[in-house]
């Protein structure tokens, strides 16, 4: 089903705004916010593969983000004395996170819905605890104080330093993540994921190898987080366990749900809102998160299907409501 016309216009307008954005931003701080939007939208697109396409509720997605960040830090900092170039490290990180996706996927294959959610939640917590505690007896992760002095991305002799430069790097990655998502959705495995989401037993009787397809979803989703993790580490120039708390998993999941699960543009809009709104509400100072939480509740009550959903899916949801 083709997206409605207005949605195309929204997409083009967003794309244009994204490219000229830094020129219009009032200061460097807001360019930083925009870079964060791109980073989180990429993560949300990765989680969308697992939750939106394959229908597997993953509450520990931040673990892959954390693993990605730390693997980047291991390979490009003084921590182990390795200073591999950016374009060598990122592919390694992507492979490492994809493998970690397989490792968490394999034991959870028989689980669905709430049971899967609990196990992935545990995986997220375990990862956090490992990051915080693996500084003894051998110092691997740097413990609570993390790893500092991480190399910035260097592209052909040019080293990134300004937020604007990071922004365009992250924007390019987001564009790639969007293209990858579109292609995945219409690929053979993409159809297998959607069939599993709709009805796993029926998918199986169609001759879909549901085991392989689910593992592919976990690995693919995790690899997006690998890219995001590399970016975070190289941008912050440091990583700490506190970057990868459970609330981050929920935050990313909220981006996916808010925009309309499975809808790619919606996921980007969700990420934009969830990164921007807490900044906008800084005027409310300590009531900031309260206002933010209230807004999310209102949004979900008014539009339970998400901000952007194509018409057919909306009709169907209304049918179910009746």
Partner 1 sequence: MLRLTDVVTHYGPIRVLKAVTLEVRAGEIVCLLGGNASGKSTTMKTILGVVRPTAGRVEFEDRRIDRLPTEAIVRRGVSLVPESRRIFARMTVWENLAMGAFTRQKAPAGELAEDFERVYTLFPRLSERQHQLGGTLSGGEQQMLAVGRALMARPRLLLMDEPSMGLAPALVDQVFDIIQTINRQGTTILVVEQNAAVALSIANRGYVLQNGRIVVHDTARALLAADHIRRAYLGED
Residues that bind partner 1 (CB under 8 A): 1, 188, 191-192, 194-195, 198-199, 201-209, 312-313, 315-316, 319-320
Q: Which is nearer to partner 1, 196 or 269 (CB)?
A: 196
Nearest distance in Å: CB 194, partner 1: 7
| Residue 179 or 206 with smaller CB distance to partner 1 | 206
Could you count the other beta carbons within 10 Å of the beta carbon of residue 149? 11
* Cβ at position 304, least distance to partner 1 in Å: 15
Minimum CB distance to partner 1 smaller for 28 or for 315: 315
In whole angstroms, what separates CA 231 from the centre of its chain? 12
Which secondary structure element, helix H or strand E, spans residue 82, and what is its range?
A: strand 82-83
Give the torsion sign (CA, 276, 282, 286, 292): negative
If the CB atoms of residues 204 and 288 are measured against partner 1, the closer one turns out to be 204
Toward partner 1, which CB reaches closer, 88 or 212?
212
Beta strands at 154-155 and 147-148: parallel, antiparallel or unpaired:
unpaired
> Least distance from C-beta 100 to partner 1, angstroms?
26
DSSP class of residue 79?
T
Cα 175 versus chain centre, distance: 14
CB of 43 to partner 1, least distance (A): 25
Beta carbon of residue 191, minimum distance to partner 1 (angstroms, whole number): 7
CA dist., res. 214 & res. 228, Å (int): 22
- For residues 264 and 255, give the distance between their C-alpha atoms in angstroms, rounded to a whole number: 11
Residue 165 CA to residue 149 CA, distance in Å, equals 19
For partner 1, the closer CB: 285 or 320: 320
Task: For the CB of residue 241, give the shortest distance to partner 1 in the complex, in Å.
Answer: 39
Cβ atoms of residues 108 and 116 within 8 Å: yes
């Amino acid at each position: 089903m083709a997206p409605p016309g207005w949605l195309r216009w929204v997409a083009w307008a967003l794309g244009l705004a994204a490219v000229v954005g830094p020129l219009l931003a009032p200061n460097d701080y807001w360019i930083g916010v925009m870079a964060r939007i791109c980073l989180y939208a990429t993560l949300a697109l990765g989680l969308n593969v697992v939750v939106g396409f394959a229908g597997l509720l993953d509450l520990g997605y931040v673990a892959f983000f954390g693993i990605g960040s730390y693997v980047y830090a291991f390979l490009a900092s003084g921590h182990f004395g390795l200073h591999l170039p950016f374009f060598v490290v990122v592919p390694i990180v992507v492979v490492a996170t994809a493998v970690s996706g397989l490792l968490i996927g394999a034991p959870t294959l028989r689980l669905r819905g709430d049971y899967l959610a609990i196990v992935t939640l545990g995986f997220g917590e375990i990862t956090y605890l490992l990051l915080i505690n693996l500084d003894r007896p051998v110092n691997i992760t740097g413990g609570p104080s993390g790893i500092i002095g991480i190399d910035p991305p260097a592209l052909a002799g040019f080293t990134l330093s300004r937020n604007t430069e990071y922004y365009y790097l992250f924007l390019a990655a987001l564009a790639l993540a969007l293209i990858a998502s579109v292609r995945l959705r219409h690929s053979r495995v993409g159809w297998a994921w959607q069939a599993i989401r709709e009805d796993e037993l029926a998918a199986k009787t169609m001759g879909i190898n549901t085991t392989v397809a689910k593992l592919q979803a976990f690995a693919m989703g995790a690899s997006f987080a690998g890219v995001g993790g590399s970016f975070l580490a190289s941008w912050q120039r440091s990583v700490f366990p506190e970057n990868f708390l459970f609330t981050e998993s929920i935050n990313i999941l909220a981006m996916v749900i808010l925009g309309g699960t499975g809808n790619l543009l919606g996921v980007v809009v969700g990420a934009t809102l969830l990164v921007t709104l807490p900044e906008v509400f800084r005027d409310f100072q300590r009531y900031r998160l309260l206002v933010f939480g209230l807004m999310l509740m209102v949004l979900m009550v008014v539009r339970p299907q998400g901000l952007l959903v194509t018409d057919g899916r909306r009709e169907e949801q209304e049918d179910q409501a009746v």
